[in-house]
Chain A
Amino acid sequence: QKEVEQNSGPLSVPEGAIASLNCTYSDRGSQSFFWYRQYSGKSPELIMFIYSNGDKEDGRFTAQLNKASQYVSLLIRDSQPSDSATYLCAVERRNDKIIFGKGTRLHILP
């Protein structure tokens, strides 16, 4: 089993709808989880992090974590064309390192 798995997409979502991005991980000991956004030709930038089971909201973004199911997701409400990007799920490993999933390409349809 791969350490961090994401559907590569592309995920196409109409403007104004909710985009749902999913990620599963294999290490039950992982405690910290991150979502990075990467625009084409640009570097990744952090948009959300979550440590506790449940939901964490920040503006239009909600991260959801279920450690029992080893599942983390990102919801984007009221999707905008500017949300079109690749979203990378990242999971803590030991010794200050994190491992990235391969990313999900999101395309918001105007």
Chain B
Amino acid sequence: DVKVTQSSRYLVKRTGEKVFLECVQDMDHENMFWYRQDPGLGLRLIYFSYDVKMKEKGDIPEGYSVSREKKERFSLILESASTNQTSMYLCASSLTGTDYEQYFGPGTRLTVT
């Protein structure tokens, strides 16, 4: 059974803080994704990684960076958190190829005050 876990379910940070969101998958998937989900805007892709140390920008990468040092772990970094980054962050993983299902983690609800 595929499992994608995220380090925190809820997180509250102050403006300007550096924030790390961690995601771990246990199914040896090549691809990992970070999305944010906001009411009325849907799921939007922030960054994508198709291999260790490889990354590709999604639709809204500004203000974010990522790290993938190991295949099972994909980190999202907010270098200097801002209030407009308050959102639900969802990590997903999949096998290579667009035929394959993306499996989602439980999400991290981040509030920046």
Q: Do A and B come from one complex?
A: yes
- Max chain A Cβ within 10 angstroms of own Cβ: one of B43, B58, B96, B107: B43
In this complex, the interface size class of chain A, counting residues with CB under 8 Å from chain B, is 20 to 34
Chain B interface, number of residues (Cβ within 8 angstroms):
23
In the complex, A50→B50 CA distance in Å? 23
B105 and A43 within 8 A (CB): yes
Q: Give min CB distance, A37 to chain B, whole Å.
A: 11
- Among A88, A95, A96, A102, find the residue whose CB has the most chain B CB atoms closer than 10 A: A96
Q: Is B84 an interface residue (CB 8 A)?
A: no
Contact mask A86-110 → B, CB, 8 Å, 1/0?
Answer: 0010001101111111110000000
Query: Do A97 and B48 contact each other (CB < 8 Å), given the known contacts A31-B98, A43-B106, A44-B104?
Result: yes
Q: Give 1 or 0 for each of B92-113: 1 = CB within 8 Å of chain A CB.
A: 0010111101101111000000
Known contacts A32-B98, A103-B42: A96-B104 contact under CB 8 Å: no
Docked complex: A51-110 residues within 8 A CB-CB of B: 51, 88, 92-93, 95-103
Which label, helix, strand, loop or mixed, suits the secondary structure of the A interface?
loop
Q: Please name all residues of chain A whose beta carbon is closer than 8 Å to the beta carbon of B101 when the two chains form the complex.
A: 34, 46, 49
Give the distance to chain A from B60, nearest Cβ to Cβ, in Å.
Answer: 12
B102 touches A95 (CB 8 A): no
Interface residues of A (CB under 8 A from B): 31-32, 34, 42-46, 49, 51, 88, 92-93, 95-103
9 A/B residue pairs, CB under 8 Å, sorted by A = A31-B98, A44-B102, A46-B101, A49-B99, A93-B98, A95-B50, A97-B98, A100-B43, A102-B41
Binding site for A on B (CB under 8 A): 31, 33, 40-43, 45, 48, 50, 56, 58, 90, 94, 96-99, 101-102, 104-107
